[in-house]
Structure 1
Amino acid sequence: MPQFLFVYHGGHTPTDPAEIEATMAAWGAWFQNMGDALDIPGNPVGQSYTVSDSGVVDNGGANPASGFTVIKADSIDVATEMAKGCPMVVNGSGSVEVAEIHPIEM
Structure 2
Amino acid sequence: MKDFMFVFRNDPAVMAGMSPGELQTSMQKWMDWIGGIAAHGKLVDRGNQLANEGNVVRPAKVVTDGPYIETKESIGGFIMVRAESLDEATEMAKGCPILFAGGNVEVRPIIRM
Note the 1:52-91 alignment, pairs <5 A: 52-54=58-60, 55-60=62-67, 63-89=73-99, 91=100
- RMSD over equivalenced CA pairs, Å: 2.1
User: Is there any run of 5+ residues in structure 1 with no aligned partner, and where?
Assistant: none
2:100 matches 1:95: no
User: Is there any run of 5+ residues in structure 2 with no aligned partner, and where?
Assistant: none
C-alpha spacing 1:2/1:13, structure 2 compared with 1 (3 Å)? farther
C-alpha spacing 1:92/1:16, structure 2 compared with 1 (3 Å)? closer
Report sequence identity in percent.
Answer: 33
Matched positions, count: 103
Higher helix proportion (structure 1 or 2): 2
Report the TM-score, using the length of structure 1 for normalisation.
0.82
User: How many angstroms does 1:50 deviate by?
Assistant: 2.6
Report the TM-score, using the length of structure 2 for normalisation.
0.77
Secondary structure of residue in 1 paired with 2:112: coil
Q: 14, 23, 37: which one pairs with 2:42?
A: 37
- d(CA) in 2 for partners of 1:16 and 1:92? 14
